[in-house]
Amino acid sequence: MGNRINFVLVVLLLGGFALAQVDVRLWHMEQPPHRVDRVQELIDAFNAANPDIEVVQEVQNWGDVIPKALSAVRARVQPDILFAIPDFTLTMKATGAVQPVTELANNLHQQHGFLDAAIDPYSYQDEVWAVPLYGMVQSLWYRKDVLAEAGIEPPTTWEELLAAAEALTTEDRYGIGIPGSKSLYADQVIYNFMITAGAKTIFNDDGSIRFDTPETVRAFQYYHDLFQFSPPDSVSWIWGDAEAAFASGRVPMIIQFTTITTFDQQTEDLPANLGVVPIPAPAELGERGNIYYSNGAMVLTGDPAKKAAAEKFLAYLLEPDNYGRFLNMEPALFLPVTADGQEAESFWNDPLVVEYEDQVRTMVDNSAYGALFGFTTGQVFDGIGPISAQNLLSQVVQRVLVDGDSPEDAVTWGQAQMEAATR
């Protein structure tokens, strides 16, 4: 009898070990309910296929996630996976909690082929610090019928864009909508023009600031000239304001990541009337470029079992059959960061993507020309954190548009502020 009891105990113990789960906590900031639901669908499928792992999502918001994540690290209760963008990754890396994912990233690159613009901002100090998951790229969006009625071709140069904005401005309409606010949105839109003006790089190789240049001044002067054809209230715009103005017909051109969902839901226009082209460049330079960045996933656990489980989940998301479903938690906004993801049927078969396939393909094509301020030289400097956190690019925009400074004086001021912020 005693032997039988011992046998049962052994079986129960072994069974307990077999059923033991590795818990993985995932923080992300994709708060809209339909995005949360899609992430949960993928988590449920992964957990069902991996009964030894339990991934749980904990939804955060961008408004307070940085101090919250830093506090969690100090208290040693940080998540195991944390979605991020490149400058957030740099901030978190300074805590020592971020684990290199170099081997995983290399393996995934061999399998799927990461875009350079997606993985480069996470690659420094001989390691990769986050796995790219989805990309976002800005383009020039326009109403085809409005331009056609005015006899205007889609602009491809600065000169054509400025002329089109002027010609399209009437008593009840502004030719273009661009932000003049102190915001990440304005940071990003002005940076498109810095890229195309030849002012893409704001750090020298030694980490010093290279902002006060003729190319930068030219970009801000052009922004000033273009802004006179933007609505007066665009001095305080954030992302949604631009899309609303575009959908209402108040402006026929905006620079944005996407306006497909808003256009589809808030207008009665056919998809064929929504146009999108690359960001125009000065005619004599012709340097194609636009702001682009990938959202990635950091691993914040040093526990070997948790780290292995977290990496297995991230690899699962990038498998082509799953990847399109993940990206289409917000169709026609989140773009593939891998070569096979760009061809994945699971991405292209979403109903909204099918309806706006031409526009989405233009966005995907633009991704190859993307850049992100502070991450353009192959080196990454800690100074980009405070520059980005203080919205210094858009503060320079405001000095030109609101305070009346000359572009030269505003850019000189910006140089001094960036130097102070990075000391």
- Give 278's contacts (C-beta < 8 A, 6+ positions apart): 139, 140, 156, 288, 290, 362, 366, 369
| Type and span of the H or E element at 306 | helix 304-317
pLDDT digits (tens, 9 = 90+) for 179-214: 999 999 999 999 999 999 999 999 999 999 999 999
Among the ranges given (56-60, 85-89, 251-255, 323-327), the one the predictor scored with the smallest mean pLDDT:
85-89
Shared domain for 73 and 160, answered yes or no, is: no
Shared domain for 183 and 313, answered yes or no, is: no
Domain that holds residue 69: 21-136+293-362
Shared domain for 203 and 246, answered yes or no, is: yes
pLDDT at 174 over 70: yes
Instruction: Name which of 169, 149, 147, 300 is nearest 227 in CA terms.
Output: 169
Shared domain for 151 and 269, answered yes or no, is: yes
Shared domain for 126 and 50, answered yes or no, is: yes
Shared domain for 284 and 391, answered yes or no, is: yes
pLDDT digits (tens, 9 = 90+) for 290-344: 999 999 999 999 999 999 999 999 999 999 999 999 999 999 999 999 999 999 9
Establish if 2 belongs to a structural domain.
no
Number of domains in the chain: 2
pLDDT at 227 over 60: yes
Shared domain for 149 and 194, answered yes or no, is: yes
pLDDT at 8 over 70: no
Q: State the Cα torsion 299-335-237-91 to the nearest 10°.
A: 20
* Contact in structure between 300 and 97 (CB atoms under 8 Å): yes
Q: How much is the pLDDT for 19?
A: 54
pLDDT digits (tens, 9 = 90+) for 101-132: 999 999 999 999 999 999 999 999 999 999 99
pLDDT at 4 over 60: no
Shared domain for 33 and 123, answered yes or no, is: yes
| Type and span of the H or E element at 248 | helix 239-248
Q: State the Cα torsion 371-373-378-383 to the nearest 10°.
A: -160
Shared domain for 208 and 263, answered yes or no, is: yes
pLDDT at 256 over 80: yes
pLDDT digits (tens, 9 = 90+) for 74-103: 999 999 999 999 999 999 999 999 999 999
What gap in Å lies between CA 90 and CA 379, rounded to an integer? 12
What gap in Å lies between CA 36 and CA 130, rounded to an integer? 21
Question: What pTM value is reported for the model?
Answer: 0.91
CATH number, domain at 217?
Answer: 3.40.190.10
Domain boundary among the residues 313, 340, 362 is at 362
